[in-house]
Structure formats: structure tokens, C-alpha cells
Amino acid sequence: MATTTDNPPAPAGTLRAVIDALPLTATLTAIVLTWLSWPDVANSDGDVPPLQPVEARSAEALEATFADFGYAWPADQVPPVSVQTFPHDLAETRTPVKKSLFFRTLLPLVLAENARIEAQRESLMKAIDGDLPEARRVAILTRLAGEYGVDTDPLTDATARTLRARVDTVPPALALAQAAKESGWGTSRFAIEGNNLFGEWTWDASQGMTPRERSADADHFVRRFETLRISVRSYLNNLNRHGAYERFRTLRTEARQAGRGMTPAQMAGGLEQYSERGLAYVNEVRAMITTNRLDRVMANARLTELPERIAQR
């Protein structure tokens, strides 16, 4: 998996944030429970749980928007907001502020996408072990097999074992550390122009950007994503299905079977193939987690409801 730190000039943004409000008429918990009751629970379509879209034209405006939500860093109570893209002037911001804005932007996205996976996993367990109507069981397993890259018969024990290992969450601290490293704290060219937070590649020119320092014989592109949230979803899916990260999934499964959680630093041990630097890359990610105290800061982080004054706008 390629990594990049290609940083473009960051044009100054306008000093405002535009909030495109989507009314939340129920709590996130109620919405997720409703989603679990639908026959197409495993569908990858839609943004579940929903987040409030936010467009920030500058770092100053993004800070003001977070303040309006009562969202500081660090935070246990995380508002359900989805910053669509990073402001272009983030690179010009003082380092402590830049890091705080970056972490606050990414954390709700990772928590929301993990919640989506948790709901999928609960649905998976019901399909494997529960007493569901056969048609619903087949539909759930087929959809999940498609999303998580399992091409065997959805009703076999082998498929069930593979899905158990793949349909699972990623520690938020690990995701934020990798995103910070891969995107230059949200200031790289690929983060600004393509919402690519994790250095993901594609071989489809229509979906990517050409790296400026790509060798003459290379034919890869760096993926573009419509929003930051879609980049987070793609990253989680990548770790959960790509063959290069089988050890990552094995470590996670072993920890789950032993009834213990794994620290983000331990989970990073399964990512040697994420970069050509191998173990050196793993150690850099671990250092990012430790230096920024991400494992401690996010130990109790949870998505909350929007403040009523904002939800009613």
C-alpha cells in the first residue's frame, strides 16, 4: 500500500463554515436499532448511523464550528458531525491547533463507521447462530460476503469463519494515527484534493490522481473520495478484506476468542505490509499513538446526539 506526503500550497479559505443541516428526529441509538430490524441490514448503501454534514472553508471556521458544537479535544462526548473536506489552509495553522482539528474531524467518522460495522457484525451473528427465516439469513450472508470480499458459498462454514474474522471494528486510535501519518495531518495534496486519508491506490484513472513523483513504468493512481467519511469507510474495508492484512485480522480474532481486547499498538503489528518500510512503518504508527496519547484519549470516546439548538436549525 503506497504512502505519500506530497504537500501542495494551501490557499487561504474564507472565514466561515457552512452547515448543511440534516434533521435528526431520533437518537443515534434508536436509528441504529431500527436499521438492525431491516431485511437489508448488511447493505453498504447509506450513511448509518447518520452524521451532520459540515463544510468548513478555513481552519478558523472549522474551529468555530466545533466550538458551536461544544466539541473540544480531547473529548469523551463526540458530536455526530461529518466534516466533508479539510480546509485548504490547514497547513498554515499552528501545529497544536492543526492536530486538534485533525483529530476532532476524524474521530466522529471512525466512530460512526465502527458503529456501522458493529451493527453488521450483530446481524452476522444472528445469521450464523440465530433462528432467522432462511430467506433473511441468505440475504444477510450474501450481502456481507459481497462487501467483505468472500467469494465462497455464503452458506458454508468456511464463509462463516471468514466473515467472523472480517466483519469487525478497528481501534479508533490506530485509524487516527495512520490517517495523520498518511495524510500529513490532512494537509497532503491527496487529502486536500481527493479526501484520501490513508494513501490508498487505484489502477482506474477515472477514480484517482496521478502522483507527481510516480516512476515512468508505474501505472497506479491515488484514489479520490467524495468525502472524508467515504475514505474512512474504504480504509476499514481495506483492512478487513485485503489479503495483505490477514495477520491483522488474525491478531484481532485471537484476542476476541481469548476474551481480551488488543491495544492499538498491538494491532499495528499486523500492518507490516501497509508500507514498503515494513516494521519501521509499524513502529512509526506506534510512536504516533504513544506521542499523542491516542489510546488513552479515546478510550471512552462515544458519539452523542447533536445539541438541540443545532438539531432544530
CATH of the domain at 176: 1.10.530.10
Residue 200 domain-assigned (yes or no): yes
Is residue 3 pLDDT above 50, yes or no? no
Domain that holds residue 167: 17-207+220-311
**Domain tally for the chain?**
1
Residue 43: what pLDDT? 39
Banded model confidence at residue 223, pLDDT cuts 50, 70, 90: confident
C-alpha cell at 63: 474551529
Banded model confidence at residue 45, pLDDT cuts 50, 70, 90: very low
Residue 8 domain-assigned (yes or no): no
Provide the H-helix boundaries in 130-227: 134-147, 157-166, 172-183, 189-194
- Which of the residue ranges 32-46, 115-129, 190-204, 261-275 would you say has the lowest mean pLDDT? 32-46
- Which of the residue ranges 49-53, 131-135, 201-205, 298-302 would you say has the lowest mean pLDDT? 201-205
Residue 2 domain-assigned (yes or no): no
Is residue 13 pLDDT above 80, yes or no? no
Residue 203: what pLDDT? 57
Banded model confidence at residue 130, pLDDT cuts 50, 70, 90: confident
Residue 186: what pLDDT? 95
Residue 112 domain-assigned (yes or no): yes
Residue 1 domain-assigned (yes or no): no
Average pLDDT over residues 59-74: 95
Residue 209: what pLDDT? 64
Is residue 208 pLDDT above 80, yes or no? no
- Which sign does the torsion angle of CA 252, 258, 261, 265 carry? negative
C-alpha cell at 195: 479526501
Residue 180 domain-assigned (yes or no): yes
What percent of the chain is predicted at pLDDT more than 90?
65
Residue 105: what pLDDT? 97
Residue 11 domain-assigned (yes or no): no
Residue 213: what pLDDT? 72
Banded model confidence at residue 29, pLDDT cuts 50, 70, 90: very low
Average pLDDT over residues 119-127: 95
Residue 131: what pLDDT? 81
pLDDT averaged over every residue in the chain: 82
Provide the H-helix boundaries in the chain: 28-36, 59-68, 95-129, 134-147, 157-166, 172-183, 189-194, 228-241, 246-257, 264-268, 279-291, 294-297, 308-311
Q: Would the pTM count as exceeding 0.85? A: no
Task: Give the Cα separation of 238 and 133 in Å (integer).
Answer: 31
Task: Give the Cα separation of 294 and 105 in Å (integer).
Answer: 14
Is residue 99 pLDDT above 90, yes or no? yes
- Return the amino acid letter for 231: S
pLDDT per position as a tens digit, 140-184? 999 999 999 999 898 899 999 999 999 999 999 999 999 999 999
Among 20-34, 37-51, 86-100, 128-142, top mean pLDDT goes to 86-100
Residue 12 domain-assigned (yes or no): no
Task: Give the Cα separation of 187 and 205 in Å (integer).
Answer: 23
